[in-house]
Structure 1
Amino acid sequence: MTDNLFPSPPWPAIPVQNEPRRYPLHRIFCVGRNYAAHAAEMGHQVDREQPIFFTKSALAYLPTGMESNYPPGTEDYHYEVELCAVLGAPLFKASPEEAGAAIYGYAVGLDMTRRDLQARAKQGRNPWDVGKDVEESAIIGPITQAAEMGPLRDQRIRLRLDGELRQDAPLSDMVWTVPELLSRLSQLYHLAPGDLLMTGTPAGVGPVAPGNHLVGDVEGLAPVSVTFIDPD
């Protein structure tokens, strides 16, 4: 074993409600178009045959309550509030029932998006990476263990910008349930503890500007919040 050429950043870790230990975050998987109304507002239909998956680096994680720099290269940076699920057991080629049993807990997250760069990539049939995998673009609140959260039913998922309600829908509006998403994802990856899934956003997405404050919440979970600042 040789020494590294330069220091490597530690794995980020997410606080857990009523638990002194943190949850090490290894990979972030995301889902596109999992709410029909959001797909429609973006000019798309949902794919009911196969979920749309993409990824963010774990180093895109930003804890709740922090200030975040408005990112470079965009003039249309959008919020998307999402339910996040984290794993507590390995999954590979799992059934939805097996996937549901492997969920350690849930959190509220913000999937921030350089919408103009994403739209440009879509037009050219190019990857979404520069639109989605942005520094400080995965803002995640504390995890609540699944047993404390209870079953996912019609809990509301909401986002407020400077106190004004912008997104509001029941979790039952999701096209694919969380166990179904994890089951499908496990056909593509060897999933393990440390993996987090952002499960899609309801309608009402829109831009933020330096000075804006966002608060996202899901009934039964700790909220997530962030304030954007101008890095200049």
Structure 2
Amino acid sequence: MNPENRLRDEIARLGRSLFERGLTSGSTGNLSARLDGGYLVTPTDTSLGFLDPARLSRLDSQGNWIDGDKPTKEGFLHLSMYRADADRQAVAHLHSTYSVCLSCLRDLDTEDMLPPITPYVLMKVGRVARVPFFPPGDEALGPVIEEKARTHSGIIIANHGPVVAARSLRAAVFGIEEVEESAKLAFLLRNEDVEFIPEDYRQTLLKSGK
């Protein structure tokens, strides 16, 4: 199997895994991966649980649709993440419940919105930022994402959901899962007296380059 077909199969497999475990519902969420000369992106109005590898959208290096089904209208989010860091090979975006819940709260640090309850989101993603709400499909969000993505590989869009970029599709998916689990912990413990991981260890993780 050639590399592109392997990647198509991996997008379908990981999309189905996210859907079956309740991390996405209906036709929400999208995945993408970088190819030589362009990108593969999940199509618009398609459930991640029922992707056909042969019908994934193919974009050129500028984000123009060249093959496959019509791409997600949120493709510009993915392109913004890629433009911010040429080493990124994949992007995952969800409308997952606890990340959205957390994004609606007013008193969070927009540069580091997930408290260090466990080390794992720092290990996989690093600091997770928050950007303001934009209407669905509004491409004015693109430059906002691109600017923030220069310093963060994980971003939560207010009242919308998380987006994570990484150097492989598996890493992007595992990273966005960790963002959701960390958001769940933060939300459940919001009114409790929480003991966080030690600050010196947190700083060590932040310096690891995520």
TM-score by length of 2: 0.29
| Higher relative contact order, chain-length normalized (CA < 8 Å, sep 6+) | 1
Higher strand share: 1
TM-score by length of 1: 0.27
